[in-house]
Amino acid sequence: MKKNEQFPKEAMRVLKETSRTFYIPITFLKSDLKHSVASAYLVMRAIDEIEDHELISNDTKYELLMQVSELFKQPFTEEAYLRIIEPVKEQLPEVSLRLYDWVQACPEGSRPMMMEISSEMAFGMAKWAKKNWQVQTKEDLDDYTYYVAGVVGVYLSRLWYWSYGQETDLDLAIGFGRGLQAVNILRNQKEDSEERGVSFVPDGWSRDDLFAYAEDNLKKADAYIATLSEKSTVMFCRLPLEFAHKSLKAMKKGQEKMSRAEVEQTVNEVKMEVDSK
pLDDT in tens, the chain (277 residues): 444 445 557 788 888 888 877 888 898 898 889 999 999 999 999 999 999 999 999 999 999 999 999 999 999 999 999 999 999 999 999 999 999 999 999 999 999 999 999 999 999 999 999 999 999 999 999 999 999 999 999 999 999 999 999 999 999 999 999 999 999 999 999 898 888 889 999 999 999 999 999 999 999 999 999 999 999 999 899 989 998 999 999 898 887 666 667 766 776 776 676 666 5
pTM: 0.91
The predicted structure's pLDDT at residue 1: 45
Phi, psi of 257 (to 5 degrees): -160, 175
The predicted structure's pLDDT at residue 149: 97
